[in-house]
Amino acid sequence: MTSSSPTAQPRTIGPLPAGHPPVKTPKVGVLLVNLGTPDGTDYRPMRRYLREFLSDRRVIEWPRAVWYPILYGIVLNTRPKKSGAAYAKIWNYERGESPLRTFTRSQGEKLAERMAEEHGVVVDWAMRYGQPSIAERADRLLAAGCDRILVYPLYPQYSASTTATVNDSFFAHMMTKRWMPSVRTVPPYHDEPVYIDALARSIEAHLATLDFEPERVIASYHGIPQSYFRNGDPYHCHCQKTSRLLQERLGWADGRLMTTFQSRFGPEEWLQPYTDKTVEALPAQGIKRIAVFNPGFVSDCLETLEEIAVEAGHIFKEHGGEHFSHIPCLNDSDAGMDVIETMVRRELQGWID
């Protein structure tokens, strides 16, 4: 995908007074940020990752006096082993990292290639939890001379527990700087035509490879507690709109595309219907052939490759299902990169035109 605007010229600095410290040519930074990943599947890296993730007040909104005894007394003593075993099933052993890190790195590299014609644009990538951190990569952009930075939380649907915490972390780090860059953040893009079209084409291409026709196709989004929704989080509305627009784009009859929510944690009621309970119940309703995809995830990760492709598939077949297929995320495909590039170029207008 190419820009229709003229190639941007780098901003320059006029002559400096004698004895003035060197000044870098001003650049524009783009920072892609995904959720995060442990550094390994063993107990210590898993515990370190889970501690950072589950200590975020945006993720767990319970009072610290209630949550911390549970987190440090129970969760961090039991969950690292269980989560590590799950990660081990989908780990990229060739590169020694999780698929999420592999895909996010590739997205950053491919976006840099696509933006190469734009002189003075520097692309980097980071994780909200784990490595490379937002602070590390933000500092790298600043060191490269970026005085304008576009932060891109890689979440199509907005939630305080995802998009907002990325922005929180970036701006908190900027609060430590004497000289802050100008900053923009990419807004939700759950209803952007380029995103809806990319999902539709990905689904159509995958279904064309199957030797069966799914009776239902399930859009499984990561869930959030109902209390977050009641307190004003727009996430549920964004997910429902994505599904509605996608169904219209595919031209499917009502009912073929189903919306569900996965990955619930703790005793609270989460957004429903639950993905695992839905795939468990479908065979008894005479639905024996299904496909599942994850439109809220930009890249395949534990929640898509293990929780859906493996576990949901097992649940479906254990309860009488006959054919199950998981549709991969957009990842670093051409269609997926078209989405990212389109959003970046739109949000950089006025900075690179």
What is the residue extent of each domain of the chain? 193-326
- The DSSP string of 22-84 is P-PPPEEEEEEEEEEE-S-SSHHHHHHHHHHHHT-TTT--S-HHHHHHHIIIIIHHHHHHHHH
Give me 246's structure tokens.
């996608």
**What is the rounded average pLDDT of the residues 17-29?**
75
Can you tell me the mean pLDDT for 128-147? 97
- Write the CB contacts of 245 (distance below 8 Å, at least 6 apart in sequence): 191, 196
Where on the phi/psi map is residue 232: left (φ > 0), alpha (ψ -120 to 50), or beta? Answer: left
* pLDDT band with cut points at 50, 70 and 90 for residue 5: very low
235-267 confidence digits (pLDDT tens): 999 999 999 999 999 999 999 999 999 999 888
Three-state secondary structure call for residue 326: strand
Question: Which has the closest alpha carbon to 84: 302, 275, 276, 297?
Answer: 302
Residues in the chain, total: 353
pLDDT of residue 3: 43
At residue 63, φ and ψ (nearest 5 deg) are: -55, 140
* Helical (H) or strand (E) element with 198: helix 193-207
**Whether 42 contacts 135, CB under 8 Å:** no
Token pair belonging to 242: 């994505």
| CATH fold of the domain at 193-326 | Rossmann fold (3.40.50)
| pLDDT 10s digits, 139-182 | 999 999 999 999 999 999 999 999 999 999 999 999 999 999 99
The rounded percent of the chain whose pLDDT value lies above 70 is 93
Q: pLDDT (tens digit, 9 = 90+) per residue, 286-311?
A: 999 999 999 999 999 999 999 999 99
CA distances for 282 relative to 162, 240, 256, 326, 337, angstroms? 30, 21, 12, 16, 34
- This prediction has a pTM of 0.92
